[in-house]
């Protein structure tokens, strides 16, 4: 019975380490992107593009966005902007009107009298007009605050020379002028989640998402997937990616097609945004339950894609499994549990080091600005464990301390209560880091001092903060409570960093 229990608890730890193996797998795939990519099938083409820009009280940003779009390196005769106003109450209309007088051939204004239904409904109001007019060959969906670099649209449209391509996604980079701790964490996260992961998806031939901030669709593909954006989910862009690929077309990520977006500058705003994303991913998982591990679903049904998808989706639960496994094994075999603990953090060390080096290579400009946030991504305590795990003398001394106390405890042979408490805290930290990171959000939400919330974030870690949000999405999903689309407030504090 003890042997069986030991095997089960060991499996808990091994299963809990799967996200680390998934990360390594993705980053190894990136190596093959140098040859296994879509560039060889591209050509310089400039199809007629209708741009759908959903707006709700975007007076702070919409004017700048329009000017940027109409000054990029793309023929103006092949570009029309459809500004879809979701019943704004500010002076969005006046700003768009002034711009339309300057560019009468390139701007259309669509007013929704009844707003508040969400981004997808707003987009569909514009798409309906575009398809009825029939002028467009491709539709670009974007956010009202996103700024395109000069050649980004050309880099996106070049992929449409391949008739098998249905969607193209740009590389969305964090471009807030505040350069705060949170913005730097997001900037580094986007290297990992886009510049790195999306390259891996290109190699797999299965793209998880074509982000709605800069998403180019062919008209044929849009019609094939229903002629509108899904309105049943909070992850409408992921639905579009899945439907595109299930319809037999490719969804491509181009890391050289760069756009800049303003991201949240507070933990409360970031929590709201990412909780919406996390709940949307759960909705996607349920809606497409028939594709998982289904070979008929092409790349999306592959084991590799499902492995990556589910290890990310279930990461909070897997982290908890690690703690349960280590604590349980401690009571069965303290030497063995300590050896597993050390190996787990050694794997963390190798994974984090590999990720940081890869990010430095993929996006050196952003990495140089955010390398410290990359190092602190797992949190200060976890970083300390990572450092100590590669220091054999420390680990050996700690194990010696356990052995020296082997006959001093009545609770567990060989361990006094202080040592047991230290070991338990170390084993439980894999899960407790999410609690500490959540307290950073909770402190800010309750109006606590910024230095306290930021300190808690640094201690717990930005990565565990994202896991805490995912854990909260489980609770939201289980409760079946209504979750409406809620936009992230933008201030216009955005710039294109490398121009």
Per residue in 362-385, pLDDT tens?
999 999 999 999 999 999 999 988
Q: How many angstroms separate the CA atoms of 375 and 435, rounded?
A: 20
Mind listing the pLDDT tens digit for each residue in 306-350? 999 999 999 999 999 999 999 999 888 888 888 899 899 999 999
What is the SS3 assignment for 59? coil
pTM of the predicted model as reported, rounded to 2 decimal places: 0.91
Q: Which residues of 149-177 are buried (b: 16+ CB within 10 A; e: fewer)?
A: beebbbbbbbbbebeebbbbbbbbbbbbe
* pLDDT 10s digits, 240-283: 999 999 999 999 999 999 999 989 999 999 999 999 999 999 99
Indicate the pLDDT class of residue 181, thresholds 50, 70 and 90: very high
Beta-carbon contacts of residue 419 (< 8 Å; ≥ 6 apart): 401, 402, 405, 409
Binned at pLDDT 50, 70 and 90, residue 396 comes out as low
pLDDT above 90 (res 57): no
Give the Cβ contact number of residue 96 at 10 Å. 25
Mean pLDDT of 81-90: 88
- For the chain, the domains span 2-21+311-479, 38-289
Average pLDDT on 114-133 reads 88
pLDDT category of residue 87 using cuts at 50, 70 and 90:
confident
Residue 124 has pLDDT above 80, yes or no: yes
Structure tokens at 416: 């006094």
- Enter the CATH code of domain 38-289: 3.90.550.10
């Amino acid at each position: 019975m003890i042997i069986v229990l030991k095997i089960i608890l060991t499996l808990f730890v091994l299963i809990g380490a799967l996200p680390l193996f998934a990360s390594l797998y993705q980053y190894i795939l990136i190596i093959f992107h140098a040859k296994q990519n879509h560039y060889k099938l591209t050509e310089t083409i400039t199809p007629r593009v209708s741009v759908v820009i959903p707006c709700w009280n975007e007076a702070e940003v919409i004017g700048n966005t329009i000017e940027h779009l109409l000054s990029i390196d793309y023929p103006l005769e092949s570009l029309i902007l459809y500004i879809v106003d979701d019943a704004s109450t500010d002076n969005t209309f006046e700003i768009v009107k002034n711009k339309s007088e300057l560019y009468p051939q390139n701007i259309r204004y669509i007013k929704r009298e009844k707003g508040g239904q969400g981004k997808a409904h707003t987009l569909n109001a514009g798409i309906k007009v575009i398809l009825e007019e029939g002028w467009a060959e491709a539709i670009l969906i974007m956010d009202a605050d996103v700024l395109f670099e000069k050649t980004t649209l050309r880099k996106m449209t070049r992929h449409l020379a391949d008739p098998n391509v249905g969607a193209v996604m740009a590389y969305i980079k964090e471009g807030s002028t505040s350069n705060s701790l949170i913005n730097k964490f997001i900037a580094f996260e986007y290297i990992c989640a886009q510049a790195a992961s999306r390259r891996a998806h290109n190699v797999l031939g299965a793209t998880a998402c074509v982000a709605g901030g800069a998403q180019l669709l062919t008209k044929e593909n849009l019609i094939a997937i229903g002629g509108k954006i899904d309105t049943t989910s909070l992850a409408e862009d992921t639905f579009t990616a899945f439907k595109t690929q299930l319809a037999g077309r490719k969804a491509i990520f181009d890391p050289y097609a760069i756009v800049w977006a303003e991201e949240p500058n507070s933990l409360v705003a970031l929590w709201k945004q990412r909780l919406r994303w996390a709940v949307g991913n759960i909705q996607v998982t349920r809606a497409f339950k028939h594709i998982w591990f289904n070979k008929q679903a092409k790349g999306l049904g592959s084991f590799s894609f499902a492995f990556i998808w589910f290890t990310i989706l279930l990461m909070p639960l897997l982290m908890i499994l690690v703690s349960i496994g280590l604590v349980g094994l401690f009571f069965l075999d303290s030497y063995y549990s300590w050896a597993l603990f050390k190996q787990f953090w050694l794997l963390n060390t190798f994974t984090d080091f590999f990720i940081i080096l890869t990010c430095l290579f993929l996006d050196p400009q952003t990495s140089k600005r955010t390398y410290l946030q990359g190092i602190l991504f797992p949190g200060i305590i976890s970083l300390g464990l990572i450092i100590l795990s590669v220091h054999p003398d420390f680990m050996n001394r700690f194990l010696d301390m356990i052995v020296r106390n082997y006959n001093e405890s009545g609770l567990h042979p060989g361990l006094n209560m202080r040592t047991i408490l230290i070991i338990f805290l170390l084993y439980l930290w894999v899960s407790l880091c999410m609690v500490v990171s959540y307290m950073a959000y909770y402190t800010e939400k309750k109006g606590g001092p910024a230095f306290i919330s930021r300190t808690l974030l640094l201690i717990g870690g930005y990565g565990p903060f994202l896991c805490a949000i995912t854990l909260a999405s489980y609770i939201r999903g289980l409760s079946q409570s209504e979750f409406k689309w809620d936009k992230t407030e933008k201030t216009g504090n955005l710039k294109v960093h490398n121009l």
